[in-house]
Amino acid sequence: MALNKELWLQTIEEQLFKSDEFLTVVGLDHSAYVNNRTVHIPQAGANPTISKNLSVFPAAVGSRTDADLTYNVDLFYSQPIRVGVDETQYLSYDKRMSVLSSHLKKMRNVLGNNTLYAWTAAVPTASIIRTTGSAVGTALAPSATGTRKVPTLNDFYTASAILDAQDLNPADRRYAIVPSAMYWQLISDSNITKHLEWGASPVAPTGQVPTIAGITLLKRSSVTVWDTTPAVKTVNDEGVPSSPATTDNMGILIISESYVSKALGQIDVYTKDKDPQYFGDIMSVSVAHGASKMRTNGEGIVALVQTT
């Protein structure tokens, strides 16, 4: 009887994680303040009255009452994981490195989920718009059923008009954090797909649309989930919405970059090597993090939400 050879690769197929590119490029960086429990963002009060051809002196003296917007910085901890001597000595791959990598990537996903919820919860009612395409798109949200109207180029025009009317910083870049499945629905819009024709755009060979109406698109497997109100649903650290329903809707978050913020501390790695009780190494990580809108009324943030 022949003995078959066996080969163990020296790498392991790692877990899959969401893309959190937006944490790096979107929003003001308040990481310098992350060692504080609460971050205060002063808000200027009402503007002065302007008079024309003033004839009464002395002029009436007014005052300005400023306000305070605050957000808390939370501490996030990963579950300690044991890597035993039997796992480090006899496996063909570096399990210690693999475990540490999963700690770091999972932590970043959790921070991404919390950041998106903090920003989305700040969207004012007047800045929530609904998709206007044909009702042929899949519902997409967890537990949702049926079809929804797909996003269109005109929806992005509407979002841009809302942001323009708020007199925001004209130097700001604008970003849309888009659920990946909604992205592919979006570029099915004939007004967008025509730009993918050969010769019409330098991105045609890839089929990717980097910007729409001056808004840079960032894909993520999930962003936020809304009910029929529409109101954003609270999520757990995994990004799973509370009380999922068949009527839930996915949403796109469109942001003018200096009107949201995030604070991210240094990720601390904890290791206890050769623990005599566990006959192995124990590893975990922690990080301080917070996120917020920059203005009390939520200017600079628009949500584009699916509708039936």
**pTM (2 d.p.):** 0.84
Strands 249-256 and 174-179, bridge-based pairing? antiparallel
Per-residue pLDDT of 174-221, as tens digits, reads: 999 999 999 989 988 888 776 555 444 454 445 567 888 889 999 998
Per-residue pLDDT of 87-121, as tens digits, reads: 766 554 577 788 888 888 888 889 999 999 999 99
pLDDT band at 265 (very low <50, low <70, confident <90, very high): confident
The residue-averaged pLDDT of 229-245 equals: 86
**pLDDT recorded at residue 206:** 53
Tokens standing for residue 296: 């009390």
pLDDT band at 273 (very low <50, low <70, confident <90, very high): confident
The lowest-confidence range among 49-63, 82-96, 113-127 is 82-96
Other Cβ atoms within 10 Å of 189 Cβ, number: 20
pLDDT band at 18 (very low <50, low <70, confident <90, very high): low
The residue-averaged pLDDT of 60-75 equals: 90
Angle at CA 219, nearest 5°, toward 167 and 245?
95
The full set of domain ranges for the chain reads: 22-44+62-114+264-293, 126-262+295-305
**pLDDT recorded at residue 195:** 58
Per-residue pLDDT of 125-165, as tens digits, reads: 999 999 999 998 888 898 899 999 999 999 999 999 999 99
**pLDDT recorded at residue 10:** 46
Better-predicted residue by pLDDT, 80 or 34: 80
User: Measured over all CA atoms, what is the biggest interatomic distance in the chain, rounded to whole angstroms?
Assistant: 111
The residue-averaged pLDDT of 253-275 equals: 91
**pLDDT recorded at residue 5:** 44
The residue-averaged pLDDT of 49-68 equals: 89
Amino acid at 250: M
The residue-averaged pLDDT of 77-94 equals: 76
**pLDDT recorded at residue 253:** 97
**pLDDT recorded at residue 88:** 67
**pLDDT recorded at residue 135:** 92
The dihedral through the CA atoms of 122, 237, 11, 81 has a sign that is positive
Average pLDDT, the chain: 85
